[in-house]
Amino acid sequence: MRRSPVILLLAALVAFSPALRAEQPTPPPQLKGAHAAVIVRSFLSNHYAQEPLDKVHSQRMLAQYLAGFDPEHYYFTSADLRGFQKFGPHLGDMLLKGDISPAFTIFDIYKQRVDERTAQALKILGESFDFKGNDTLLTDRKKAPYPANSEAAIPILRNRIKFELYEMILSGKTEKEARDILSKRYRNQKLRLAQINNNDLVSAYINAVTAAYDPHSTYLPPDELENFQINMRLSLEGIGATLRWEDGFTIVTAIVPGGAASREGTLQPEDKIVAVGQGSSGPMEDVRNLRLSDVVKLIRGEKGSSVRIEFLRRGEGKVETRRAVTIIRDTIVLKEGEAHGSVQEIPREGGKPYRVGVIVLPSFYADFNGMRENPKNYKSSARDVENLLKGFQKQNVDGVVLDLRNNGGGSLDEVVNMAGLFLPPGPVVLWKDNTGRVNAFKNPYDQPLYKGPLVVLTNRNSASASEILAGVIQDYGRGLIVGEVTTFGKGTVQNIFYLDGNLGALKTTVAKFYRPSSSSTQNKGVPSDIVFPSVYNHMDIGESSMDNAMSWDAIQPSRFTPAGDLSAYIPVLVNRSRGRVKDNPAFKDVREAVAAYLKNRKGRDRITMAELREEHHRLKGKALPTDGEEPESSGKPKDKKDDIYLKETLAVMGDLLSLSEGKPAGRQTKAGQKSSQR
């Protein structure tokens, strides 16, 4: 019998593509001071801290607003800062009275500084450089003083440009190519700056307030709210193309497989969209130099409607030809964000290979509108994982690996339901609201669907709902947690508060969550039972490194009955894993990267040109092993064949199966056993 917990949302740490922004049924209003005051008052009344927007928070607000424009202190001057500090302590009072003039004053000065730095940068890029020296670059200028004035900014900028050029040259670019790339980068910055409008600035100003209280509360204007909802339901209505903005053009980055544009077949990556028309006869609107979000609004639309797109395509000899296409919009399912699985085989001494089901879960998604309209059939991560587990049981797998790497969270309802697929009845997560009251979300099932061996793979980007699931599995002794030293450390709950008047919504921190064993995951995360080598194990990253992050604490533990006890196996599993990793040539590069980081970067905010040369010499010709995720900028598809972390996780599972064969650990049962009470 199933019980339904109340739905709350945990903020997903996901970088949303601008290509997914939504067309609103009615345009949002021009944000004014009165709107900002209403929005901020709503935020303050609901936030977990229940603290006023006083002088302390006003100073934090100023710091956050300035950092949004100039985090590395290259643009503003110390003279500018002195001018801003005059109204710094009063920003909160001014805003609550509807006065948001400082937002525009600061931005106007920033635009002046960008014009100055761009002119300086382009002039510097015309100079010659000697790369044989041993100059030093301050790699983290967040705490460095601002330049005294625009003249004092020139040597700081020159040093930065010199290192940027040299790094690109070391990476294989010619000096001319490197100079062209940087020139383009600075010119694009001015173009992007020109596209910032009133609502962008007011939204940023409001978000400076939310960031002054914690790093996960945020104001979502209407297009960002729709973007959030798209990523939760993994679907949208449009043509199915990912877009980017460059040099005034909207450029096709990728075509979504199976989407409307993919089925029509004309559009290709790198096509430059220059005009958009609605329906079969609507006028074509020139979209060159238009904001990316505005172009997306023109392209997206209701399922079944048509959109005409004119674009430029580069052919032979770099000649661009103008073409046109009409596409019928459709519902686009974002398949890459769905849970997916496969069955892997692990060698077994003296017998048939072990068969292990691997589930990759990118986020805890759910279509809340679909849930209300059709509660028996809606998009849900827990339902998708349940179906994968049922498929594994039909294939008689010996164990299951759950890959939560880079999973930034999602719906709390989903993680509670998903935990019930693996755990016996009992508490899944505890949460404390702003009154200090502690509540428990319990397993919604009477019996788990899957009772067999379980290994959960995490990394430093596994956050929020991922940490709830990993933590409760560890608390119950239900499975092993392997991966990087710990997870992200986000232990706060956000709820969505919708605002009247098409103003969007506030994603506000309303509670902290705790493991059944009493500990918060805030700042500390969920430590791995078996730690794999990684540079990220040694970096100051995660929640504890973020501005205004809440502190760690613990509450009284909850009563629950463990599902198993793997503690006797862990020392043996750790030793076997360390032996494999030590002997595995694929991990050699990881160990070298760790050693180089500890030598040259750990605890240091500077790097010399000699150290930069040494790093590139060490990496030259090497393809570093991946944890299953390629950098976004690489443009390469994810390749699980090179995923040494997943391979080692499967080897750990093989060890666990071997050790427990014939003598289950604690209450572990055979993998294929099914529940009879679902």
Tokens representing residue 304 in the block: 């079944």
Asked whether 276 and 309 are in contact (CB, 8 A), the reply is: yes
Q: What is the distance, to the nearest Å, from the Cα of residue 245 to the centroid of all Cα atoms in its chain?
A: 20
Burial of 447 (0-12, 13-18, 19+ CB in 10 A): middle
CA pair distance 672, 400, nearest whole angstrom: 10
Tokens representing residue 141 in the block: 């200028």
CA pair distance 617, 602, nearest whole angstrom: 19
Q: Of residues 475, 529, 643, 655, which has the active-site annotation? A: 475
CA pair distance 567, 340, nearest whole angstrom: 30
Catalytic annotation present for 490: yes
3-state SS assignment for residue 474 = helix
Q: Of residues 490, 507, 512, 647, which has the active-site annotation? A: 490
Q: At what angle do helices 101-124 and 198-211 cross, to 10 degrees?
A: 100
φ, ψ of residue 283 to 5 degrees: the values are -65, 145
Asked whether 457 and 404 are in contact (CB, 8 A), the reply is: yes
What's the chain's length in residues?
678
> Could you identify the residue written with the tokens 């944000």?
31
Nearest to 356 by CA among 226, 423, 452: 452
CA pair distance 152, 158, nearest whole angstrom: 11
Tokens representing residue 255 in the block: 């075509």
Catalytic annotation present for 464: yes
CA pair distance 504, 502, nearest whole angstrom: 6
Tokens representing residue 111 in the block: 């635009």
CA pair distance 412, 7, nearest whole angstrom: 6
Q: Of residues 380, 464, 466, 520, which has the active-site annotation? A: 464
Q: Cβ contacts of residue 248 below 8 Å, gap of 6+?
A: 191, 288, 289
Asked whether 357 and 369 are in contact (CB, 8 A), the reply is: no
CA pair distance 254, 270, nearest whole angstrom: 8
The upper half-sphere exposure of residue 450, i.e. CA atoms within 13 Å in the direction of its Cβ, equals 30
Asked whether 274 and 287 are in contact (CB, 8 A), the reply is: yes
Q: Torsion angle of alpha carbons 605, 609, 611, 615, nearest 10°?
A: 110
Asked whether 450 and 478 are in contact (CB, 8 A), the reply is: no
Letter string b/e over residues 448-472, b meaning 16 or more CB atoms within 10 A of that residue's CB: bbbbbbbbbbbbbbbbbbbbbbbbb
CA distances to 25, 165, 323, 360 from 363, in Å: 28, 37, 38, 9
Asked whether 367 and 379 are in contact (CB, 8 A), the reply is: yes
Tokens representing residue 23 in the block: 């067309």
Tokens representing residue 515 in the block: 């493991």
Letter string b/e over residues 517-530, b meaning 16 or more CB atoms within 10 A of that residue's CB: eebbbbbbbbebbb
DSSP symbol at 366: B
Q: Cβ contacts of residue 608 below 8 Å, gap of 6+?
A: 134, 135, 136, 137
Q: Which residues are catalytic?
A: 464, 475, 490
